[in-house]
Structure formats: C-alpha cells, structure tokens
Amino acid sequence: MNFKYILVPALSALVLSACNQNKNQQTATAQDTAAVVKPVIITDSVKHDTDDPAIWINPDDPAKSLVLGTDKNEDGALYVFDLDGKIIADKVIRDLKRPNNVDVAYGLKLGGKLVDIAVLTEREANKIRIFSLPDMKAIDNGGIEVFKGDTAQAPMGISLYTRPGDKAIFAIVGRKTGPAEGYLWQYRLKDDGHGQVAGEVVRKFGKYSGKKEIESIAVDNEAGYIYYSDEQVGVRKYLADPDSSSRELALIPNTGFTEDNEGISIYKTGPLTGYILVSDQGADKFRIFTREGSKGDPHAHTFVKVVTVTANQSDGSEVTNLPLNATFKKGLFVAMSEGKVFHYYRWEDIFGK
C-alpha cells in the first residue's frame, strides 16, 4: 500500500494566484470571524504537557492506524492513541527526559528486515530516540547523541526524510538555539551491524534568525523538500537530499501571523500538489499555502486561506490524506492543544468540502 498520497478531486477554486496575494489576505481577514472548526475527537489526557503528534498508517488495516504524541516534561513520555483518541497503555513509552517532537518513517532496513520507526527528540538527554512500529520497542541502544561536540545541543524539532532512489532514511534535527548558519544537523539512520539503529551526521545546514527558536520541521518526501519554522520570521525551505545544495530555496514570510509561525504539516492531493498548513500559534489558527508553489516558480507558495480551530496554542500538527475509517474518509488532521490533549479533525472540516 502506498502511503505517500492519494489523488483527490482538485480544490482549485480556493487556490488563488500569487498576483492576488493581497486579495487573499483580505479574504482571510474576513474568514477569521467565521465559525471555529471543532474536532470530532479529543484524545485522552496525557500527564503533563502535549507537544507534537505523528501518524502511523497500519498497512493491513488503516482503521487500526496509530497517533503518537509527546508529553513534554522532564518526566515525559511518548503516548500512543487509537483513532478514537484512547490511550493504548501498553504502547506508551515513559521515563523520557523532555521529549519534544516526533515523526514516523516506513521501511528502515534493520536486521535483514524492513522496520517502520518512530523517532523523537529527548531534549534533556541530548539524544534522539528510535522505536519500532507498531510494537514500540526501543531499537537505538538507549539513544543517539545529537549535536555532539557542539556547545548548543538541546534537540527539539525532528522530521524524517526517505530518499526515493535508495529508500535511505534521514533524521533532520533542530535545537533550542544555535548558529546563524548550520542550525540543523542531518543524520543518516542505519543498522549498526547488530540490529540496532545508528546515526551518522551527513550534513549541517539551515539559516537561523536568532529571534526565537526553531522547533517545527516538516519533510515533503516526494517533492524532496525540507520546511522549518524560524519563529517570528517565516518558514524556510531547503532541498532534503544531503548530497544536494544547502542553499535556501524560499522563505514563506511571517506576514499575517499574530506572533509565532509554528507547526507545519503537508496535505497531498497528488504527486506534487496539495497544501502546507502552518500554525499561527497565538491566534489558534492555521494558515494554508499551496504545496506546489505558483506557476513558473515552484518556490512561491501562494497563500490560500486561514482556518480557526479550537485547538489552543497549537505548535505541533500532522495530517494524512489517506481514508482511515468512516469518520476520517478524506484524511485526518491532528493538532496539539493546551489542556494535555490532541485534537482530531476531519480534513473536509479543515479545508471545506
């Protein structure tokens, strides 16, 4: 089963050209007062403080897919929920030292088998942690130290890139603070020869404004791009392949955001089409841009609309376009919310039918 994307009817009526950007902004202002989009499910509460979700698609039965979410505390955990928002207690990973962000990838070659993985940052341990899916077993020898030898460690953001050609999997890791250049480090994840995962630094890249921090990172595997939120500045875009140029391709500016541009997720309507959703954290809104860029410029991402949600102070989100069950027929959008919970939204409620 292909988890990359499915084709859905075009939503072009809502996609305006780059030359109408000002008109789009005016339309968005009017939409700000529209009805707030409510979730269809709110998860069970975690112990401390929700931060970032990820979605694992069950290849045999999408209705048994899992939602993973971090509980950001020095007494932290990685929670696992079903599609009804219920905690699956025997899959929860506890005793983590301030886990921040989490992501999922499929088919890491490990011990002669292909293994699906969940990878998270453990900030106070200066490590990334790796667990097999769906059994949630540690496969990292206790964790992989990141930013080793650098004065600034404290990992926060993480996203996984699977290179289409050879299916190699890379972790792109951000941190609490860092240099103006080379803020992100990219690690190739591979078998250490004993059936556990090792990480090798293959690239240091990425600009940082110094204004706040960089936490949210998202990867578009098919298009081959990395996006990350330089908070209060905008969303920066780079090529994902570590063997490619480390030149910045675009900056989606912070224009219109109340304060922080935060969580990033990508909804795919085709091989290279779809939408980029960015959290306007202080306003409880998500601003939506075209995934494919504008005509003639693949890096000019046109503003589409703004959606107001009940998720409060959301700085982490994830989305899939795959039909999962009778509730989520066109996909699932998950957003972290204050109050120790995650909110599940139907895609058609987020974007419109």
151 contact partners, CB below 8 Å, separation of at least 6: none
The pLDDT, as a whole number, for residue 294 is 84
Q: Is residue 4 part of a domain?
A: no
Gap between the Cα atoms of 227 and 4, Å rounded: 17
Residue 44 inside a domain? The answer is: yes
> What local confidence, expressed as pLDDT, does residue 251 receive?
98
pLDDT of residue 353: 66
Q: Which amino acid is at 338?
A: E
Q: How far apart are the first and last CA of the chain?
A: 26
DSSP 1-55: ---S-------GGG---GGGHHHHHHHHHHHTTSPPB--SEEPPP-SS-EEEEEE
Locate 246 and state its tokens: 């480390």
- Burial code (b: 16+ CB inside 10 Å, e: under 16) for 100-131 equals bbbbbbbebebeeeebbbbbbbbbebbbbbbb
Specify the DSSP class assigned to residue 282.
G
10-residue mean pLDDT series, the chain (353 residues): 42 35 42 77 98 97 98 98 98 98 98 97 98 98 97 97 97 96 98 97 98 95 97 97 96 94 97 97 95 91 96 95 98 97 98 83
Question: Would you state the structure tokens that stand for residue 253, as one six-digit string?
Answer: 């500016």
What pLDDT is attached to residue 26? 39
Question: What's residue 295's pLDDT?
Answer: 84
pTM (2 d.p.): 0.91
73 lies in some domain: yes
Max distance between CA atoms of the chain, in angstroms, equals: 58
Q: What pLDDT score was predicted for residue 22? A: 42
Strand partners, 116: 133
Question: In this predicted structure, what is the pLDDT of residue 114?
Answer: 98
Quote the number of domains for the chain.
1
Handedness of CA 26, 231, 262, 258 (dihedral sign): negative
Range of the domain at 162: 12-351
**CATH number for 156:** 2.120.10.30
Residue 272, C-beta contacts closer than 8 angstroms, at least 6 positions apart? 222, 223, 291, 292
Task: Give the Cα separation of 70 and 80 in Å (integer).
Answer: 9
User: How many whole angstroms separate alpha carbon 316 and alpha carbon 62?
Assistant: 23
